[in-house]
Amino acid sequence: MKKSTECVQAGYEPKNGEPRVLPLYQSTTYYYETPEELAKLFDYPKLGHIYSRISNPTVSALEAKITALEGGVGAMACSSGMSATLFAVLTLANAGDNIISLSTIYGGTYNLFAVTLKKMGIETRFVTPDSSDEEIEKLIDERTKMFFAETISNPSIIVLDFDRYANICKKHSIPFAVDNTLTTPYIVRPFEFGANIVIHSSTKYLDGHASAVGGILVDGGNFEWDKNPRFKDFYTPDPSYHGTVYVEEGGNAAFILKARMQFMRDIGAIMSPFNAYLTNLGCETLHLRMERHSENALAAAEFLSSSDKVEWVKYAGLKTDKYYPLAKKYMDGKCGGMVSFGVKGGREEAAEFIKGLKLIKQVTHIADVRSCVLHPATTTHRQLSDEDLIKCGISNNLVRLSIGIEDKDDIIEDIKQALDKIKR
């Protein structure tokens, strides 16, 4: 199936007489006639549902849709993007291990890596997009378990050079995990460019309507876990799961099986069936929305570039943008709805602009059908020091716009009148 068809159809196939639309199975439990049947499920969880902390039919259908869209071998829907990222790390790393991450990432993820993982004994070694291959490779040791980056970084709008990082990861046999939230598989499928694990905050474009918080972890099935000395947990029996050997039980989907059977089972941050139902509904129009987000955002970025109230604009769809060649290479020039720009001046002028907007509302969110705005330095990234803000690519005058799917003339008119109100 082509991507657009997968958006609409993948993940649910009704049998004769069953509902045409994916049903909402709002049930925690599943009935089995005999103890033997249920016992078998504990040995082979892939055969059916036991309890909705581990899996649920509505949630599974969404997982199947995203697996198809990303071209992976399995997925696990989580209660948030943050929990999906945490599960990715915990499935790979134990206390005493380390991961490497680009520092230009969403502020919440930065904090998870820099502060919370540290408390769990997992160290994050941050690099910047300007770090050389040599500098990155120097940080890799036998306890390095993952390299993490975002396809388009939030909010610094840097496009990931997949080939470069995939080569480093391959050379050192470490998995390459990519947060594909801001692009979605409609625009880019990271597995085609060497990623091994994909993470989504489905709260954003996948749902697309700002209705359901969620996250999705996807297994590319393209990493050799077996016999890799870094990942003994994958090919030796897991005593906490009656001796299961994940590479034997899960085959090339060993990663996602381990994530579910160790961490979803023990922690339970699974997506609720209702949120999976809503997210699946959102995905049915993902292809249409991403085209319109990309078209509108390019128009807004072009307008901003022509304004004398604006110092700089970051949108990789602009031919003048530093990341335009990478956007062309990996995304066919479609860049989604996120645009960052620097208002001439600083925090005060950024606040004036936001107060002047009428249609575009200030919300702590991005990537839904409605255009919205935020000043990251004083909100989402508030917890970061000035030094860390710079590492994340955030200046005091950076305004983050998430361009929606309204009429682009209305969006531009709103931006124009708010810029006109700035006194400076």
Ligand X SMILES: Cc1ncc(COP(=O)(O)O)c(C=O)c1O
- Give the separation between CA 149 and CA 262, rounded to whole angstroms: 24
Binding to ligand X (CB under 6 A) within 48-87 occurs at 80-82
> In this structure, what token pair is assigned to residue 380?
């989402």
Of 102-110, 272-280, 281-289, 408-416, the window that binds ligand X (rule: CB under 6 A) is 102-110
* Cα separations in angstroms, 345 against 9, 351, 394, 400, 423: 48, 11, 15, 15, 10
Q: Which is nearer to ligand X, 174 or 212 (CB)?
A: 212
Q: Rule CB under 6 A: say whether 103 interacts with ligand X.
A: no
- β-sheet bridge partners, residue 312: 342
Residue 394 interacts with ligand X (CB under 6 A): yes or no: no
Please, which residue, 145 or 200, has the CB nearer to ligand X?
A: 200
Shortest approach of ligand X to residue 202 CB, angstroms?
Answer: 7
Q: Judged by CB under 6 A, which of 7, 213, 389, 392 binds ligand X?
A: 213
Indicate the residue among 154 and 252 with the shorter CB distance to ligand X: 154
**Number of residues assigned to the chain:** 424
Q: What angle do CA 316, 293, 85 make, to 5 degrees?
A: 75
- Interactions with ligand X, residue window 171-190 (CB under 6 A): 179, 181-182
Residue 98, classed as helix, strand or coil, is strand
Q: How far is CA 394 from CA 85, 154, 280, 342, 418, in A?
A: 22, 10, 33, 10, 22
CB of 363 to ligand X, least distance (A): 11
Cα–Cα dist 216/212, whole Å? 13
Which residues, 106 to 145, sit near ligand X by CB under 6 A?
106, 108-109
Give the nearest residue (CB) to ligand X: 81
CB of 207 vs ligand X, minimal distance in Å: 9
- Give yes or no for a contact between 241 and 257, defined as CB atoms under 8 angstroms apart: no
Tell me the closest approach of the beta carbon of residue 380 to ligand X, in angstroms.
Answer: 7
Least distance to ligand X from the beta carbon of 102, Å? 12
Residue whose C-alpha is closest to residue 205's, from 406, 404, 52: 404
Closer to ligand X by Cβ: residue 215 or 273: 215
When asked if residue 282 is in the footprint of ligand X (CB under 6 A), the reply is no
CA distance 68 to 51: 24
Using the rule CB under 6 A, which residue among 201, 294, 340, 396 binds ligand X?
201
Q: What is the largest CA-CA distance in the chain?
A: 75
Q: Is 148 in the site for ligand X (CB under 6 A)?
A: no
First to last CA, the chain: 53
* Least spacing, CB of residue 407 vs ligand X, in Å: 26
Question: Beta-carbon neighbour count of residue 116 at 10 Å?
Answer: 13
Q: How far is the CB of 193 from ligand X (least distance, A)?
A: 18
Residues that bind ligand X (CB under 6 A): 80-82, 106, 108-109, 150, 154, 179, 181-182, 201, 203, 213, 215
